[in-house]
A and B are shown apart, each in its own frame.
Chain A
Amino acid sequence: MKPRSLAVHLSGALLSLLAGVAFANDKPPAKPATPTPPKAATLSDEVIKVGVLTDFSGVYSDLSGQGSLIAAQLAVDEATGGTGKLLGKKVELVSADHQNKADIAASKARTWFDVEKVDAIFDLTNSATALAVQELGKEKGKVVIVTGAGSTALTGKSCSPTGIHWMYDTYSLATGTGAALLKEGGDSWYFLTADYAFGHALESDTSAVIKAQGGKVLGTSRHPLNTNDFSSYLLKAQASGAKILGLANAGGDLINSVKQAKEFGLVDSGQRLAGLLVFITDIHSLGLETTQGMYLTEGFYWDLDDKSRAWSKSFFERAKKQPTMTHAGVYSSLYNYLKAIEATGTDDAGTVIKHLRTLTINDPVIRNGKLREDGRLVHDMYLLQVKKPSESKKPWDYYSVKQTIPGEQAVKSLALSECPLIKK
């Protein structure tokens, strides 16, 4: 081999390392983790720029994706009164597809924060991407509001002073549905759980609630992700005689489990289904014939009351479908964020979040919302039951609201929190 090439390569490697040493300590250290004390009311970089980072093309694209972008546009329009300007400055909205890859999400977020001067990032469906971007926000002192992911780690071990978990987490879904069903007599459960952290979390949070209130867990089947065929598990569930079949899975697994549960006559023979993470898009895709009678908890329903209907109408006009709680969450969080900037006159993360903590949020999406120190927005959730086909009077008329679950009941108490920001 040519000795010259060797020399070139070796010197290159050495040079790089030396350059690294020389330049490395030039850059100022990363911004401190805690938000800086409130500065004079100014906008960084003279522009208000927000980003929607979501899944446009993968498994979550139906419940977030394009709809989230539309919801964000609605929020900007409303917060600026249709002018597109806040405090005399233009509000810019950008979006990108993280393709469910945490490293793409992290790269994009990094570019947005460092180069494109984005002030806050929204949506972040998919727990791995949400955790990654929230971590980045913590490092750079920028706001990250998650409405799409459900991991309790976001306000637990990985909590951030600049991160907000706006819409739902696995705990609120589990306890909401679990506690509510217990009240209706569902005291024996069998779980069908997706065998990964998320599924386990759903199952354990719900089990805890059930056992605490005197119910029993008769058994559990942990299935690998993307299992097609649930027949074996459904057979076991039937044999157990449990009153409720808890579905601790999501997406395609959920859809197939529900479809096959109907096929195997579980519902007809008296077992009730409880979906622990269900979006209205899942019901839409399965149809009422298959899903009727199923219980679930959501943080928002378009047909809840007049306020929610009015907003959902404006969403429907653009999206041609009703919003999921993720879409609604993007609208609500972005709207309130922009309003907070307007109220405080600055987009400094610490100041904005401090302001948000002082409010009780009541908008078309959130009822009785209070922001906690660990970043969790505590707000009303709803126990819903899927209607029978005969009860549905209009398109997307899928749910009857069985109970309104007050926020405090739907979140993990601070006493049990693993968040380092909470002083106990």
Chain B
Amino acid sequence: MQVLMGQLLIGLINGAFFAVMSLGLAVIFGMLNIVHFAHGAMYMLGAFAAWMGLTYLGINYWASLLLAPLVVGALGVLIERLLLSRLYKLDPLYGLLMTFGLALLLEGLFRRFYGVSGQNYPMPPELSGGRNLGFMFLPNYRAWVIVASLTVCFATWFLIEKTRLGAYLRAGTENAKLLQAFGVNVPLLVTLTYAYGVGMAALAGVLAAPIYQVSSMMGSNIIIFVFAVVVIGGMGSILGSILTGLGLGLLQGLTKVFYPEASQAVIFLIMALVLLVRPAGLFGKEA
């Protein structure tokens, strides 16, 4: 029982992490109707931004938590304005292909210049060590991850569901023209939404840097899992992504206890099943 509790806690922590990643993806899909294959690359960029900040400029972890998402978000603004905005009138297929290409490009560049073994990002001293909870040893950093992730998720949910800006966003996903007619600057809203989405990915990257090796491959390793989470949860649903992220984290944790070889496959199995039964996802609305 004790072992199980420890595994469930770990699953929850991982789930919270999934949730942050998939939230950005869900937001981007909801607003831009683009299947954002470059999300993993943005996550990688966030981690690298933190590492570069530390190595070349001496910027510490706490500052990076704020700066990395801003830097990557700014890049996102460029990408959206220069590249993605030209695709809105076209078949969504092209958005997928474009972001797929972007991911290849960015990862290839970082691989060319930084190799594949990855860089070491030291654990911030304030968060190192841990405490023995009795049923397991919980590193302080992991406790921080779950707190930070849930905070960001809640903040995003609040922003989208409870504020005026969020109302504009939701209106924009349903009927952009009408919203524009009301005087809201929709293109600006779209750009900001994209920047926010990739900023979230970058934040996840900074959170990951001390515990997962910072390497050019880190994005492509998790992107398809994040996709699975979003698809299962419902492509445009904020709450769906959060709950599904947490749920899948828990489920994966359990699988790792009983049948670890299948811990990756199980996510895809669920994705296939959900798509067959409820294609819009567990929490989504049929498109």
Q: Do chains A and B touch in the complex (CB under 8 A)?
A: yes
A residues lining the B interface (CB < 8 Å): 57-63, 195, 221-224, 226-229, 231-233, 235-236, 238-239, 251-252, 255-256, 259-260, 263-265, 269, 281-282, 284-287, 289-290
**Separation in Å of the B107 CB from the closest CB of chain A?**
11
A232 CB contact (under 8 Å) in B212, B222, B257: B257
Q: Which residue of A lies closest to B120 (CB)?
A: A287
Q: Using a CB-CB cutoff of 8 Å, which residues 100-145 of chain B contact chain A?
A: 111-112, 115-120, 122-123, 129-130, 136-137, 139, 141-142
CB-based contact B130/A232 at 8 Å: no
Judging by beta carbons under 8 Å apart, are A223 and B212 in contact? Answer: no
- Closest residue of A by beta carbon distance from B225: A228
Contacts of A233 in B (CB 8 A): 256, 260
Q: Is B83 an interface residue (CB 8 A)?
A: no
Please measure, in the bound complex, the distance between the C-alpha atom of A393 and the C-alpha atom of B3, giving whole angstroms: 42
Contact between B261 and A224 (Cβ–Cβ < 8 Å)? yes
A226 to B223 alpha-carbon distance, docked (Å): 12
List 4 tightest A-B contacts by C-beta distance, closest first.
A232-B256, A285-B117, A224-B264, A231-B10
B1-53 contacts to A, CB under 8 A, are: 3, 6-7, 10-11, 13-14
**Would A263 and B211 count as touching, CB distance under 8 A?**
yes
A223 and B260 contacting across the interface, CB-CB below 8 Å: yes
- Chain A residues whose C-beta falls within 8 Å of the C-beta of B222 in the assembled complex: 228
Contacts of B118 in A (CB 8 A): 252, 255, 285
Interface check B173, CB cutoff 8 A = no
Nearest chain B residue, comparing its CB with the CB of A220: B260
> Do residues A223 and B117 form an inter-chain contact, with CB atoms below 8 A?
no
Contacts of A238 in B (CB 8 A): 136-137
The reply to whether B120 and A290 form a contact with Cβ atoms under 8 Å apart is: yes
- A269 vs B10: C-alpha distance in the bound complex, in angstroms? 19
Q: Give the CA-CA distance A285 to B116 in the complex, in Å.
A: 10
Question: What separation, in Å, do the CA atoms of A61 and B263 have in the docked complex?
Answer: 28
Contact B261 A264 (CB under 8 A): no
In angstroms, Cα B140 to Cα A264, docked, is: 9
Bound together, the chains give a CA A290 to CA B116 distance in angstroms of 19
Known: A61-B115, A252-B118. A264 touches B212 (CB 8 A): no
The chain B residue with its CB closest to the CB of A60 is B116
Q: With A57-B111, A226-B221, A286-B120 in contact, is A235–B139 under 8 Å at CB?
A: no
In the assembled complex, the CB of A408 is this many whole angstroms from the nearest CB of chain B, namely 33
Residues of A within 8 A of B264 (CB): 224, 227
- In the bound assembly, the distance between CA atoms of A223 and B141 in angstroms comes to 23
For window 257-287 of B, CB contacts with A under 8 Å fall at: 257, 260-261, 263-265
CB distance from B268 to the nearest CB of A (A): 11
Q: Evaluate whether A255 and B117 lie within 8 angstroms (CB atoms) in the complex, with A195-B261, A226-B221, A231-B13 already known.
A: yes
What are 26 contact pairs spanning A and B, CB under 8 A? A59-B217, A62-B115, A63-B117, A221-B260, A222-B260, A223-B260, A224-B265, A226-B221, A228-B212, A231-B13, A232-B11, A233-B260, A235-B10, A236-B3, A236-B257, A239-B3, A251-B117, A252-B217, A252-B221, A256-B212, A259-B212, A269-B137, A285-B118, A285-B213, A287-B122, A289-B122
Measured CB to CB, the nearest residue on chain B to A263 is B139
B248 CB to closest chain A CB (Å) equals: 13
Task: Let me know if B237 is at the binding interface, CB within 8 A.
Answer: no
Known: A221-B260, A260-B211, A269-B137. 6 other contacts (CB 8 A): A224-B260, A251-B117, A252-B215, A252-B221, A265-B139, A287-B120
From residue A227, how far is it (CB to closest CB) to chain B in Å? 7
- With contact pairs A232-B7, A236-B3 given, residues A59 and B116 touching in the complex (Cβ less than 8 Å): yes
Alpha-carbon distance A232/B15, docked complex (angstroms): 13
Q: Spell out B's residues near A (CB within 8 Å).
A: 3, 6-7, 10-11, 13-14, 111-112, 115-120, 122-123, 129-130, 136-137, 139, 141-142, 211-213, 215, 217-218, 221-222, 253, 256-257, 260-261, 263-265
A58 CA to B215 CA, complexed, in Å: 12
Nearest to B215 among chain A residues (CB) is: A252
CB-CB under 8 A from A287, the residues of chain B are 120, 122
In the complex, A214 Cα to B129 Cα: how many Å? 35
Cα–Cα distance between A269 and B139 once the two chains are bound (Å): 13
Q: Please, how many angstroms separate the alpha-carbon atoms of A228 and B215 in the complex?
A: 12
Residues of B within 8 A of A256 (CB): 212-213
Chain A minimum-CB-distance residue to B6: A235
In the bound complex, residues from chain A placing their C-beta under 8 Å from that of B211 are: 259-260, 263
Cα separation A227 to B129 with both chains bound (whole Å):
23
Q: In the assembled complex, which residues on chain A have CB atoms less than 8 Å from the CB atom of B14?
A: 229, 231
Q: Whose C-beta in chain A lies nearest to the C-beta of B140?
A: A263
- Nearest neighbor of A224 in chain B, beta-carbon distance: B264
Q: How far is the CB of A181 from chain B (nearest CB, A)?
A: 24
Q: Once the chains are docked, how many angstroms separate the CA of A357 from the CA of B136?
A: 55
Q: Which residues of chain A are near B217, meaning CB under 8 Å? A: 59, 252
**Bound Cα distance from A43 to B10, whole angstroms:** 64
A65 to chain B, nearest CB (A): 9
- The complex places the Cα of A221 from the Cα of B257 at a distance, in Å, of 9
A19 → B minimal CB distance (Å) = 39
CB contact under 8 A between A222 and B120, given known A231-B14, A263-B141, A263-B211: no
Residues of chain B within 8 A of A290, CB atoms compared? 120
Bound-complex Cα distance A269 to B137 (A) = 10
In the bound complex, CA of A287 to CA of B7 (Å): 28
A232 touches B10 (CB 8 A): yes
| Contact residues in B for A286 (Cβ distance below 8 Å) | 120, 213
Contact B263 A223 (CB under 8 A): yes
Q: Which residues of A contact B253 (CB under 8 A)?
A: 232
> Which residue on B lies nearest to A279, using beta carbons?
B117
Q: In the assembled complex, which residues on chain B have CB atoms less than 8 Å from the CB atom of A231?
A: 10, 13-14, 142
Q: Across the interface, do B137 and A252 meet the contact criterion of CB distance under 8 Å?
A: no
Give min CB distance, A115 to chain B, whole Å.
29
